[in-house]
Amino acid sequence: MLGSLSGTITARLEQRILVEVNRVGYWVFTGSWQPNGEITCYIHHHVREDASVLYGFSDIQTLQLFEQLISISGIGPKAALAILSLGSNDSIRTAIAQGDSGFLSMAPGIGQKAAQKIILELKGKLPELSDVSSTHQDVIAALESLGYKANDIRAFVNEMPAGVTDLNDQIRWTLQQLAR
């Protein structure tokens, strides 16, 4: 079973990319994540009677959340990708933990019933939310929207000096650390 692919993106069609690895191209569905150039992506290999499809993710945590979502009866890979496009892993896990079906139902193809089913089946089963404060969550969300990875941001946010309290200053400080 495939676990990851490292290679060069040679083509792009809608929500999938062609990753060339040792002169073999693999079509990988990526949803809203659209990487460029040389990449490593973590793979879920979805096999059905009529198809064998690869889904790629930028990090293991996103892959795990995707796999937890598709483990729910009635939630397929397309619906799971739609949910993942709503925001960061932490924001999706927070919505599930808090029973926020309105947030989950904003994903195309996810109605209130499906959102409630996701909450019912996953509440309490997801990994604990990170130990960063809610203010730091705002920094992470802001920088993720600029294309930075949450794991990279978290490493610096946890080291932020106590004197940096304004949100704009926190974002500026973290950007300076990321640029080094």
Contact 28, 5 (CB under 8 A): yes
Q: Can you tell me the distance from the alpha carbon of 8 to that of 36, in angstroms, rounded to the nearest whole number? A: 8
pLDDT at 29 over 70: yes
At position 163, the amino acid (one-letter code) is G
Residue ranges per structural domain of the chain: 1-58, 61-128, 134-179
**The dihedral formed by the CA atoms of 141, 57, 107 and 13, expressed in degrees to the nearest 10:** 120
Same CATH topology for 1-58 and 61-128: the answer is no
Count of beta carbons in the 10 Å neighbourhood of residue 133? 12
pLDDT given at position 33: 85
pLDDT at 56: 95
Average of per-residue pLDDT across 2-21:
93
> Does domain 61-128 sit in CATH 3.20.20.140?
no
| pLDDT one-digit tens code per residue, 129-170 | 544 555 677 787 778 778 887 767 877 877 788 788 888 888
The reply to whether CATH 2.40.50.140 applies to domain 1-58 is yes
